[in-house]
């Protein structure tokens, strides 16, 4: 019995959640198509969605660039060291 | 060839991660701006003062020039030209100060014309976005002064210049952010 009441309650609650006119949870669900507010929210969402990828790829790019530069610098330094040749470095 | 030495110091990596967080902070502000800007049928709203595009455009050039001098300063320390490095750090600080002074003058005029934080959404967004950037420039400028004093005391060398390197990284971020904000708030 308790299970049935719980099931009915969850079902009812889910039905309420799926009705935007009741809870107004979605800020862009109530506006019509081609609405300026809807477009504004959508562009903002796209921008905010893409920013983390841009940030992480920028950091990764900088780390890769630093790695390459460090390797090149080390190679130059070891090549210019007196008495050390490529053969000895192996 | 794989480098044996670490590619950057812990401080440098820390600042890099911090800048990632900073970028997300500004992304949030820009996201909010986009909602109001694109959702509004008329922008700027009527009866609001127009922003000084030319003066701020010139100010943008000054800030971009400061990024160049900062990078040249960093290159000078790597080439062990310490006098040039000190001079370039000083020039960067002066250019940053000029940018802030012009921004302050611009704000003074806008407030005089009635654009305040509480006057409208337009004013609120303008002062929040541009104000936070100005705050970051001011913070970076304080850091730059500390770096200048350290450079004067001879604390930096070709092998050890983490303070200058991290400051240059932060300054570059602050400068790179500005054209985005200028384009969005002033030109768009």
Under the banding of pLDDT at 50, 70 and 90, the label for residue B4 is low
Pinpoint the alpha helices (H) of B40-184. 53-78, 82-112, 121-152, 162-181
Judge: B27–A70 Cβ closer than 8 Å, yes or no. no
What ipTM describes this predicted complex?
A: 0.82
Q: Which of A42, A44, A55 has the most B C-beta neighbours within 10 Å, making it the best mutation to test the interface with B?
A: A44
| 3-class secondary-structure state, position B79 | coil
Residues B150-161 have a mean pLDDT of: 90
Q: Which residues of chain A fall below pLDDT 50?
A: 85-90
Q: Quick one: average pLDDT of B3-9?
A: 73
Whether residue B125 is predicted with pLDDT greater than 50 in this model: the reply is yes
Mutating which of B2, B35, B173, B181 best tests the A interface, going by the most A Cβ atoms within 10 A?
A: B35
Indicate the angle between helix axes B10-39 and B162-181, nearest 10 degrees.
Answer: 10
Chain B residue with Cα closest to A90: B1
Instruction: Go through chain A and tell me how many residues it has.
Output: 90
Contact present, B166 and B125 (Cβ < 8 Å): no
Where do we find the tokens 């019995």?
A: A1
Specify the higher pLDDT residue, B119 or B88. Answer: B88
At residue A22, the pLDDT reads 65
C-beta pairs of B80-83 under 8 Å, 24+ apart in sequence? B80/B157, B80/B158, B82/B151, B82/B154, B82/B156
> Is the dihedral angle over the CA atoms B159, B161, B165, B168 positive or is it negative?
negative
Closest CA to B95 of B130, B69, B77: B69
CB B60 within 8 A of CB B179: yes
Instruction: Name, in order, each residue with C-beta under 8 angstroms of B26's C-beta and a sequence gap of 6 or more.
Output: B132, B133, B177, B181
> Which range, of A86-90, B21-25, B160-164, averages the lowest pLDDT?
A86-90
Spell out which residues of chain A touch residue B17, defining contact as CB-CB under 8 Å.
59
Please indicate if any CB of chain B lies within 8 Å of the CB of A1: no
């Amino acid at each position: 019995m308790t299970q049935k009441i719980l099931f009915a309650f969850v079902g009812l609650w889910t039905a309420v959640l799926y009705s935007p006119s009741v809870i107004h949870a979605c800020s862009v669900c109530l506006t019509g198509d081609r609405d300026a507010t809807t477009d504004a929210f959508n562009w903002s969402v796209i921008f905010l969605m893409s920013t983390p990828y841009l940030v992480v790829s920028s950091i990764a790019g900088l780390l890769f660039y630093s790695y390459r530069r460090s390797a090149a610098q080390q190679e130059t330094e070891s090549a210019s060291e007196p008495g050390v040749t490529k053969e000895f470095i192996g | 060839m794989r480098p044996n030495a670490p590619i950057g110091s812990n401080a440098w990596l820390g600042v890099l991660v911090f800048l990632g967080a900073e970028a997300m902070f500004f992304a949030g502000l820009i996201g909010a701006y986009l909602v109001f800007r694109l959702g509004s049928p008329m922008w700027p709203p009527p009866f609001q003062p127009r922003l000084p595009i030319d003066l701020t455009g010139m100010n943008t050039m000054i800030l971009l020039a400061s990024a160049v001098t900062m990078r040249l300063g960093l290159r000078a320390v790597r080439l062990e030209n310490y006098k040039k490095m000190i001079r370039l750090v000083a020039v960067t600080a002066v250019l940053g100060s000029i940018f802030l002074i012009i921004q302050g003058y611009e704000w003074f005029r806008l407030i005089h014309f009635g654009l305040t934080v509480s006057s409208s959404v337009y004013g609120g967004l303008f002062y929040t976005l541009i104000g936070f950037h100005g705050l970051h420039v001011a913070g970076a400028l304080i850091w730059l002064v500390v770096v200048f004093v350290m450079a004067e005391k001879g604390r930096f060398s070709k092998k050890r210049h983490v303070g200058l390197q991290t400051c240059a990284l932060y300054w570059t971020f602050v400068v790179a952010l500005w054209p985005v904000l200028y384009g969005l708030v002033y030109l768009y």
